Amino acid sequence: MNLYISICHRSIHTRNKALQKIPTKAEIDVKFNFTKHSNTINLINKDISSYWNKTVTLQGWIDKKPKKLGKNIAFATLRDFEGNFTQIISKDESIVEKLQRSQIEDCISITGKITERFSKENEDNEMRWDLNIEELNTLNSSDILTSQLESLKTLPNEFPQQYRYLQLRLPYYQKALKTRSKTSNLIRNHLINDLNFTEIETPLLFKSTPEGAREFLVPTRKNSMFYALPQSPQQYKQLLMASGVKNYFQIAKCFRDEDLRSDRQPEFTQVDLEMSFAKSRDVQDVIESVVSKVFKEVGQNEVLTLNENGGAVKGPFIHLEYDEVISKYGIDKPDLRSNLKIENISEFVKNPINKEFPITEVLVLKNAFNGKANLPKTLFNDLEYKNRKPTIVPIKTDDDITNWMNKIPFELINVKKLQSQLQLSQGDVIAFSTRSNISYENPTPLGRFRQLAIQEFPSQWRRCKEDENIAIWVENFPLFNPIEIETNSKQDYPQYDYTKFESTHHPFTMVNLNDYESLFSDPLAVNGDHYDLVINGMEIGGGSRRIHDSSIQKYILKEILGINNYNELFGHLIKALELGCPPHAGFAIGFDRLMTILINTNTIRDVIAFPKTSNGSDLVVNSPSDVDNATLKQYFVQKL
């Protein structure tokens, strides 16, 4: 990074000097009084035969450092403002000289004649003609910094993010921004025109309701009074249901002051919706329609789902139960492009080692070695696992096919049947672990192992082609979790306080009607009417039927969750339920994540114009920044 720091310092010096040099009127005229572009490269490409020898004006940037050929010919590449390329060329002495003085990323306007390619040597298929420069005007010049940064542009992790705008000039990012715009517009049109939704903006200056993630606070000019930025429009959209809105949606900015991970940003966008006089299935139908349409019109492939036999097919997304996906895949958001499946071998275990974790499971990676001598180290790395790591046994030799059982810390019974069920061969890997009946560990040790195996063996154990997408519904989650006891040391088994509960999703989720009566006797036994949409192992969104009965809502807040000041925090919502609020259900799609799948990238940074770094900084504008005490005083706060 030192290179860039010293560049910055140098440029500050130049800047101070520049203050004394004011452009002349003639220089300003060139920059501001320009002729408007008559064409774009794309328009000319589409109809090149009628453009030969025509004079056009094009505008954009110098994409590669101009080169001189022979005595008096100079070339350069123009990238126009649509991200297309053409070669510009001149044999005129003064223009050649001007072109040679140009920097990469100078912003230029060129008027010239369209001619055949002068040199076919470095023929680039995208560039089918030359623009013979008649007039070259520099609308704004670039400086030495841009050419120094040029080679880093395609390396998102190495490009200095304070110059993000230079990186965004790459056609890849321009396309990502356009695809995002097209997608949000497609979603809006589908919801508004086809599905009778109304987009309604809800306030961003909201109230602190400390539930779930940490909030951002906004001091006001009233003593001790603060707004909070919303984590989602959840409460306002439920109030809109009480307001008589039939189908609400909003593509909404949301805020979460959490420690950031690769797929999280402190501000993010969600497609938020809610429907009154509706049940969960009505909402799921809408979401499925939206997602299918988006993949069809914007994605590189339509979205597939599973059939009952586990095949990848088109059609309505399959509905899987939480219990089922935890048993088979060890996580509530399984990547079902892979057909790796966990097997329950509890029947073969004589005495489980920990009574709270009675289920014993294995996951077999068939032919994981595939001729190679070693397995990826990631699979064995303790840091990749939250608590426990499964025991992982490579089957390297014929002996291992039977010997692996010796590595298990408990006694197996009925071994023959087990062996015949597993059908191990040389080259396989077997991993085993345990879990509790209702697993609050999510992922389980084997679920995490499965994720790592998918990551390390991207083309093995697949049920669909590499670029195909698999979507599933996961539903019937436990409505509450026991609270995990936090410890400082990493321990084998997570510990839970089974007398204290938290909502698995949020406290407004309705219990499954079948479980209603258990809500009052055994809260941990009930499932909620919540549903997640999972695509390619990513939770693309979640939703639920909400509680519209105020007495159930109060019971859950006070008696189950123990929120004694529930009325201060949520009184507005409870009152709204009491004044004839209709039944309702809703959903929120994580729009940034959806976009990463649609443009096929691993990083959320590619679909956001100005993302924040992992410590919440925007290096372009240098935020957050210090604020002086006098300003803070107006808001009745001071620094600690």
| Interacting positions 523-542 with its own copies (CB under 8 A) | none
Please tell me whether residue 551 binds its own copies under the rule CB under 8 A: yes
Q: What is the DSSP letter of 258?
A: -
Residues 152-211 that bind its own copies (CB under 8 A): 162-166, 168-169, 173-174, 177-178, 180-182, 184-185, 188-189, 192, 198-208, 210
Nearer to its own copies, 32 or 49 (CB): 32
Please tell me whether residue 578 binds its own copies under the rule CB under 8 A: yes
Closest CA to 44 of 73, 80, 91: 80
Nearer to its own copies, 164 or 388 (CB): 164
For residue 435, the cross-strand partners are: 359
Q: Give least dist CB 465 to its own copies, A.
A: 31
d(C-alpha 95, C-alpha 133), whole Å: 8
Which residue among 85, 159, 216, 385 contacts its own copies (CB under 8 A)? 216
Residues 229-258 that bind its own copies (CB under 8 A): 229, 235-236, 239-240, 242-246, 253, 255, 257
Residues 335-364 that bind its own copies (CB under 8 A): none
Q: Give least dist CB 398 to its own copies, A.
A: 57
Which residue among 45, 141, 419, 426 contacts its own copies (CB under 8 A)? 141
Tokens 């996951």 belong to which residue?
363
b/e per residue, 123-146, with b = 16+ CB within 10 A?
A: eeeebbbbbbbeebbbeeebeebb
Q: Which stretch binds its own copies (CB under 8 A): 105-113, 390-398, 487-495, 598-606?
A: 105-113
Residues 279-318 that bind its own copies (CB under 8 A): 279, 282
Please tell me whether residue 633 binds its own copies under the rule CB under 8 A: yes
Nearer to its own copies, 600 or 623 (CB): 623
Nearer to its own copies, 438 or 621 (CB): 621
269: Cβ contacts below 8 Å, ≥ 6 apart: 251, 252, 253, 254, 591, 592
Closest CA to 478 of 513, 442, 523, 520: 523
Which residue among 118, 172, 369, 636 contacts its own copies (CB under 8 A)? 636
DSSP symbols for 119-176: --TT--TT---EEEEEEEEEEE---HHHHHHGGGTT-TTTS-GGGHHHHHTSHHHHHH
Contact status, residue 199 vs residue 187, Cβ threshold 8 Å: no
Task: Kindly write out the interface string for residues 592-611 of this chain, putting x where it contacts its own copies by CB under 8 A and - elsewhere.
Answer: ----------------xxx-
Please tell me whether residue 627 binds its own copies under the rule CB under 8 A: yes
Residues 11-40 that bind its own copies (CB under 8 A): 11-12, 15, 18-19, 21-23, 25, 28-29, 31-34, 36-37
Query: What's the longest Cα–Cα distance across the chain?
Result: 93
Q: Give least dist CB 241 to its own copies, A.
A: 9
298: Cβ contacts below 8 Å, ≥ 6 apart: 179, 182, 183, 186, 598
Residues 456-515 that bind its own copies (CB under 8 A): 510, 513
Closest CA to 608 of 232, 173, 4: 173
Residues 44-63 that bind its own copies (CB under 8 A): 59, 61
d(C-alpha 530, C-alpha 539), whole Å: 13
| Token duo for residue 447 | 């679920």
Please tell me whether residue 219 binds its own copies under the rule CB under 8 A: yes
